[in-house]
Amino acid sequence: MTSLLPRVLLGAVAASALLAGTAFAQDYPTQPITVIVPFSAGGPTDTVARLVAQAMSADLGQQVLIQNVGGAGGTLGAGQAAAAANDGYTLLLHHIGMSTAPSLYADLPFDSIDDFEPIGLITTVPMTIVARADFEPETLEELIPYIQENGEAVIYGNAGIGAASQLCGLLLQEALGAKMTEVPYQGTGPAMTDLLGGQIDMMCDQTTNTTNQILAGEIKAYAVTTPERVESLPDIPTAIESGLDLDVGIWHGLYAPAGTDQAIIDRLSESLQLALADETVASRFAELGTAPAPAEDATPAALAETLASQIELWRGVFESAGVAAQ
């Protein structure tokens, strides 16, 4: 009988801890939640994050705050999120870079799969090929030979290695068989400022960061990178219909540090789904050329599947393009 006592005590301790964890999850959240966005304020991922955070705040009854931690193509912010306490009060909102980083960086401060708990997909944003308003080519049909002839004389801005703007630019240059001069920024917000000011010639960026400037005539738009035209930019042709084989969208997902209580993950996923169903969020997304992910995609399982498949997809793309890990 005495030999069973330690087991009984251990079982009681484990059960007590489980009940305490469950009670904690049921009370969650009791304080503000911080969502790390691994890019600068004012950029496309930041725009998505702030719209979703506002709607989730209303549902959760606590403020959902955005913390911008830019640098190194999103890896600094993602690394900080991975190292955060797994209590549900520090989250990460990242884009397709979660799937490209394992192939682009030899020494990552995190593992995209092992260090995070997926919460759900948020949206897939089309990209736009844009230029300063006075750039010489008027159409994509004119732009293609212009880049092929002028190559490195064309100054292309992006948000650094692994950023959506860099990935789109990589695929654009591969499709054209030409190399432009790339200028990395700490986010596409600052890059857009320089594009508006004429310091750089071109960018390839998400509609969430370019739609307003395109509609205002402040920058020149050549194409969207989706198979179909974007509702908010009906006059902008797709790259494919203009003869360029370029099809890329930038998906965004919400994550928590590994080991976060499953009940908290479920609560956050539920809140995310409600936020994406919000009419104001859907309306603002539409204005920016995108749409909320459907409820069945705003789940941990859907994001986990997307992340794993995209890691393999981009590994093949980079190997084919001869892009080595940094």
Domain parsing of the chain, residue ranges: 29-125+250-321, 126-224
The alpha-carbon radius of gyration of the chain (Å, integer) is 22
In the chain, which residues have pLDDT < 50? 1-2, 4, 17-18, 20
Angstrom CA distances, 174 to 34, 170, 317, 320, stand at 38, 6, 10, 10
Are 281 and 101 in contact by the 8 Å Cβ rule? The answer is no
Both tokens of 54, joined, read 């506002």
Positive/negative CA dihedral, 81, 85, 90, 93: positive
Question: Model confidence over 141-197: pLDDT tens digits?
Answer: 999 999 999 999 999 999 877 778 888 998 899 889 999 999 998 878 899 999 999
Q: What is the model's pLDDT at position 43? A: 83
Q: What is the model's pLDDT at position 261? A: 98
Are 18 and 251 in contact by the 8 Å Cβ rule? The answer is no
> Three-state SS for 128?
strand
Are 84 and 28 in contact by the 8 Å Cβ rule? The answer is no
Pinpoint the alpha helices (H) of 28-154: 44-60, 75-82, 97-104, 140-150
Angstrom CA distances, 140 to 78, 186, 238, 314, stand at 35, 27, 10, 26
Q: What is the model's pLDDT at position 1? A: 45
Pick the CATH number of 126-224 from 3.40.190.10, 3.40.50.300, 2.40.160.20, 3.10.20.30: 3.40.190.10
Q: What is the model's pLDDT at position 9? A: 57
Assess whether the region 29-125+250-321 and the region 126-224 belong to the same CATH fold. Answer: yes
Q: What is the model's pLDDT at position 12? A: 56
The domain made up of 29-125+250-321 has a fold known as D-Maltodextrin-Binding Protein; domain 2 (3.40.190)
pTM of the model: 0.79
Question: 67 - beta bridge partners?
Answer: 36
Are 290 and 315 in contact by the 8 Å Cβ rule? The answer is no
Q: What is the model's pLDDT at position 164? A: 80
Are 135 and 47 in contact by the 8 Å Cβ rule? The answer is no
> Three-state SS for 58?
helix
